[in-house]
Amino acid sequence: MNGKATAIAHHEEIENFRGSATAVAHPERIEDSRRSATAVAHPKKIGDFRWRATAVAHPIQGLIKYHGLRDEALRIPFHDSISVCEGTLFTKTAVEFDDSLRTDVLEIGTRSSGLGTSDIRLPTSDFRKAAPRELERAVTVLDALRKEAGVGTKARIFSENSTGGKGLGYSASAFAALGRAAASALGLGIDEKSLSEIVRLGAGSATRSLTGSFSIWYANKKGRSYSEQLAPPEALDFKMVIVPVASKIKTEQAHRDVLSSPFFKPRLRYLRGALAAMRQAIESKDVEKICELAEIDTLNLHAITMTGAGRLLVYEPQSIEVIKKVLELRASGTECWYSLDTGPSVFVNCRAKYANQVAKALKEINISNAIISDVGGGAEVASG
């Protein structure tokens, strides 16, 4: 069977897939679902023509990871997914709606300076103009919110991440922060479920960054695809030692390639149990089980990325070094587990008592940029 025929065969099998934990979403039902949103007084109105707000959101680490879109335009996945927010890392986004603008403007920061205030008048020297695809995705979210508010005013956006690295989940926090800030600037009284559906249009995992902490994103729950929090940040004794690793790989195509992997249908079967097990581990505060399940899902996910049409290999030499060190530490009694999303950056998950020990061990192999992180909360409007 050739590649095209294989993809079609897998698609037919997936269309027939059933299961409560990984039910395939129906885009036509989700598209027609009603959102509850009302316009309220604009919180930061300047004169008669500008509204602005700033929000902060935390990137996510996939625990039971999202991969593959049943509907790319609506960003509806094939299956549910669970993640945890990285409290130490963040995206801070300032949005200003301005009647004098003819088009939306987006600038993206690559360093941690310049976003210590909610003022829209941010220094531009640390920012770059967004690439066309980046702007297109942002406009999709803005358009949905403008429709809810009944306005057509264009926006000026400045967005910056706290650090670099590929595979840290910053696309999630970027769109969660954008959605939260824009909704606030427009004075929308929109419920959390509906806002998570809107930020999903920019990046699927933004749904979970919006709700924060340990969250689940439903592929289809009563005709809607949204996120809800499973446990608050302080509920579990959970730490992440994060190793950012730079890379120029592009991962968006990997979501399109899932149907071409011979292992994707088996992954959907595996996910029935994996999702239930992860939810149970979070509910029972079994940190070791959470960490173990995330490591197993890392390997399962990468079996898909490496065997899809794009043959995507996300690992860098530094990624392998960290993984080997984690295995060595665990063999010697330090309870820690590795996890990677679709990128080379590595998360080392453990209880709080092991975090400093892990970071110290990583320094022994010349990993000096490790970041110890707590669990982060949901996206919030910044004060000021």
C-alpha of 76 from chain center:
14
Backbone angles phi, psi at 37, to 5 degrees: -145, 135
Identify the domain containing residue 64 by its residue range.
3-381
Kindly report the CATH number assigned to the domain that includes residue 213.
3.30.230.10
**DSSP secondary-structure letter at 375?**
B
265 vs 11, 33, 50, 76, 309, CA distance in Å?
Answer: 9, 28, 50, 17, 15
Q: What is the pLDDT of residues 48-60, one digit of tens each?
A: 345 899 999 999 9
What gap in Å lies between CA 194 and CA 175, rounded to an integer?
Answer: 14
Q: Got the DSSP string for 190-201?
A: E-HHHHHHHHTT
Q: Are 293 and 281 in contact (CB under 8 A)?
A: yes
Instruction: Give the global pTM.
Output: 0.85
Structure token pair of residue 309: 């049409």
Nearest Cα to Cα of residue 52 among 102, 120, 145, 141: 120
pLDDT of residue 175: 98
Q: Which amino acid is at 65?
A: K
Backbone angles phi, psi at 59, to 5 degrees: -65, 165
What gap in Å lies between CA 43 and CA 46, rounded to an integer?
Answer: 10
What secondary structure, in 3-state letters, does 72-93 show? CCCCEECCCEEEEEECCCCEEE
pLDDT of residue 50: 52
Q: What is the pLDDT of residues 128-183, one digit of tens each?
A: 899 999 999 999 999 999 999 999 999 999 999 988 888 899 999 999 999 999 99
Domains: count for the chain: 1
Digitized pLDDT (tens) for each residue of the chain, 384 residues in all: 444 333 333 333 333 323 333 333 333 333 333 333 433 344 444 443 458 999 999 999 999 999 999 999 999 999 999 999 999 999 999 999 999 999 999 999 865 443 344 444 444 447 889 999 999 999 999 999 999 999 999 999 999 998 888 889 999 999 999 999 999 999 999 999 999 999 999 999 999 999 999 999 999 999 999 999 999 999 999 999 999 998 887 777 777 889 999 999 999 999 999 999 999 999 999 999 999 999 999 999 999 999 999 999 999 999 999 999 999 999 999 999 999 999 999 999 999 999 999 999 999 999 999 999 999 999 999 975
Nearest 5°: CA angle at 97, between 60 and 178? 5
pLDDT of residue 110: 62
Query: Half-sphere exposure (CA, 13 Å, Cβ side) for 158?
Result: 23
280 Cβ partners below 8 Å, 6+ apart? 286
pLDDT of residue 172: 97
Q: What is the four-CA torsion angle of 207, 211, 216, 217, rounded to 10 degrees?
A: -20
